[in-house]
Chain A
Amino acid sequence: MSAELAPAIQVRDLRKTYSVPEREGGVRAALVSLVQRKNREVAAVAGVSFDVPRGEIVGFLGPNGAGKTTTLKMLAGLLHPTSGEVSALGHVPWRRENDYLRRMTLVMGQRNQLAWDIPVVDSFELNRAIFRIPADHFRRVVAEMTELLDLGELLKKPVRNLSLGERMKCEIAGSLLHQPEVLFLDEPTIGLDVTMQRRIRGFIAAYNQRHGATTLLTSHYMADVEALCRRVVVIHQGRLLYDGELSGLVDRFSPFKTIVVDFASDPEFADGQLAGIVGADGEIVSQTDGRLTLRVPKARTAQITGQLLAQLPIADLTVEEPPIDEVIERVFAGEAREAEPVPAA
């Protein structure tokens, strides 16, 4: 493989185990713990492997505590893994070599690196000095950020005077001044209102298009991943549950479709008629006056739809994909049924 075609990031069997002290409440237990420490081994990341080609935007999806932030931190060089290998832009991240640090950036939702009391642009100047960005290049980048993120007059204001969304925009701008090749975004839209979330997502997509920066994004908002990532990595309890296209996720974990039927007139079901149509592997989600919602296996959708249309007085019939949010929820709740084994990356 030539250098250009090598993936930007390669992860092999990455593991991170923490030793967590365990203690019950009460004074007695507190005194005991002074002498005798009981530790519990927690596997935050339990053997994760994947590659990220250059320029790709990958979404890491998982509930809180799944291990996505821990994985991201190891890739950013902030944490040493317990075992496993990572190569990012040809570097081992946790060696924190200056050359690597100059080519990457980390943005964390709801955590600021910009100085609180001074105008944003002054914090930018600080980053400029630290990253040694030449003056004209700096001006160009700031102009680009201002345009893409619609920063307008924000740059002149101190961070404490900005709203949460404005702060996040400035944080992102400030972290891209040195035009990194790899972006690590840890929950960048958390806590923001819907409009701002959309704005930030739009920016990330536009930036990726313009500069081809490899982007790793963690989130527990499905909307982030849906909007930005063709490829999604699902992490649950430290393990990689799924790695592939978003559409494939639904196929694998929830091979169902939802059929919503609006009746033209009162259906008057015969005994067992509806059950017969739906079958043992389908389910009636809800049944109210005039509307019936069914969940049926994908394979039988056409057949069931046909039967419904033939046998019942239907005014309207819709066939929908299950909402991905719901799918993910069930995956995390452990109810997911696997149709196939995990596809190779």
Chain B
Amino acid sequence: MRALRLLWLFLRLGTLNDLQYRTDFFIQCVQSLLGLVTALAGLVVVFDQTDNLRGWRRDELLALIGVYFLVRGLIDLVIRPSMERLMEGVRLGTLDFTLTKPADAQLLVSVRQVQIWKLVDVVLGLVLLGVALARLGNSVGLGTAALFVVALLAGTAIVYSFLLILATCAFWFVRLENILVIFGSMYEAGRWPVGIYPPWLRAALTFLVPVAFAITVPAQGLVGRLAWPALLGAVALAAAFILASRLFWRIGLRHYTGASA
């Protein structure tokens, strides 16, 4: 499909670009390592005092942290840099170039920018997942794996749509460059299962800033804590978010081109 072909093209270009900057690779490794140390240290210190956090055992939490890194890597690989570039394009007027191309504008702006070294986070996440599953002694059957993948895709779709909505705000509030940082901050809360948070925060992390669906739900799927209704809910929410973000994008574009004026 054309969308995939374009995505592949941009990935290739981005990789070629980023490969020039080897120092970025090392910096990324350092950053990921630091993140890992922080996450693991938190885990160790907490489980020094207890052996379960609201029912989550230590190795289940390790799996959660693995999902945290995996999803963060995926988002920072393409989605976040592209959204940042979109907001910059609105500010500098270079979005105009995208609008004169015979391809869907939302597609183009969503895959345009790549940060290939974020794959380190993806790899790190997968490794942590592997270790956690090994320690849990779970034999990950096809069913569990499928559950996990579906939940992961749904979560990533929700996050993408959410970030697109945030970035689309740039059409009205051009100076809001840091708005994506909001997501980054809230994402930190996803290092722990959202079930431990008070109801108001849990709701915020589920429906307002979709961290729960990005991290906790897929992790639940992997360690066998995910019930069918929750999974279906995630998929339904993903569909709703995709439609809503598409609609909002088109409204934003109409505003940008003065259609509603």
Contacts and interface: CB of A to CB of B under 8 A. Distances in A.
The reply to whether A and B meet directly (CB within 8 Å) is: yes
Interface of A: 16-19, 73, 76-82, 94, 96, 98-99, 101-102, 104-106, 108, 111-113, 115, 117-118, 122, 125-126, 129-131
Contact of A80 (B6, B102, B257): B257
Contacts of A122: 13, 16
A78 B20 CA distance: 35
Contacts of B6: 129-130
Contact of A118 (B5, B13, B257): B13
Contacts of A81: 258
Contact of A79 (B10, B20, B257): B257
Interface stretch (B40-48, B88-96, B149-157): B88-96
Nearest to B9: A129
B56 to A, nearest CB: 43
A16 B259 CA distance: 11
9 contacts: A80-B259, A106-B100, A112-B94, A115-B17, A118-B16, A125-B13, A126-B9, A129-B5, A131-B101
B99 interface: yes
B90 to A, nearest CB: 13
Contact of B102 (A17, A102, A126): A102
A115 B114 CA distance: 12
Contacts of B232: none
B1 interface: no
B200 interface: no
A54 to B, nearest CB: 20
A82 B102 contact: no
B17 A94 contact: no
B261 interface: yes
Instruction: Output the residue of B5, B6, B258 with the most chain A CB within 10 A.
Output: B258
Interface residues of B, number: 24
B240 interface: no
Contacts of A125: 9, 13
A131 B261 CA distance: 31
A117 B20 contact: yes
Nearest to B103: A130
A113 B103 CA distance: 15
B97 A106 contact: yes
Interface string B244-260: 00000000001001110
A111 B259 contact: no
B101 A111 contact: no
Interface in B79-133: 92-94, 96-97, 99-103, 108
Contacts of A94: 257, 259
A59 B205 CA distance: 56
A118 B21 CA distance: 12
B17 A113 contact: no
A175 to B, nearest CB: 9
B206 to A, nearest CB: 33
A29 to B, nearest CB: 19
Given A118-B17, A122-B13, A126-B9, A104 B100 contact: yes
B17 A73 contact: no
Contacts of B93: 108, 111
Given A118-B13, A122-B13, A126-B13, A77 B100 contact: yes
A78 B261 contact: no
A65 to B, nearest CB: 16
Contacts of A105: 100
A235 B254 CA distance: 27
A94 B9 CA distance: 28
Contacts of B257: 78-80, 94
B99 A78 contact: yes
A127 B212 CA distance: 39
Nearest to A99: B102
A79 B258 contact: yes
A102 B101 CA distance: 7
Given A101-B102, A118-B17, A19 B261 contact: yes
Contacts of B103: 98, 130
A112 B99 CA distance: 14
Given A130-B6, A130-B103, A78 B259 contact: no
Contacts of B258: 16, 79-82
Contacts of B101: 101, 130-131
Instruction: Output the residue of B16, B94, B100, B257 with the most chain A CB within 10 A.
Output: B100
A78 B13 contact: no
**4 closest cross-chain pairs (CB), A and B:** A113-B97, A101-B102, A98-B102, A80-B259
B96 A73 contact: yes
Contact of B100 (A18, A101, A129): A101
Contacts of A77: 99-100
A115 B89 CA distance: 13
Contact of A76 (B20, B100, B261): B100
Nearest to B95: A78
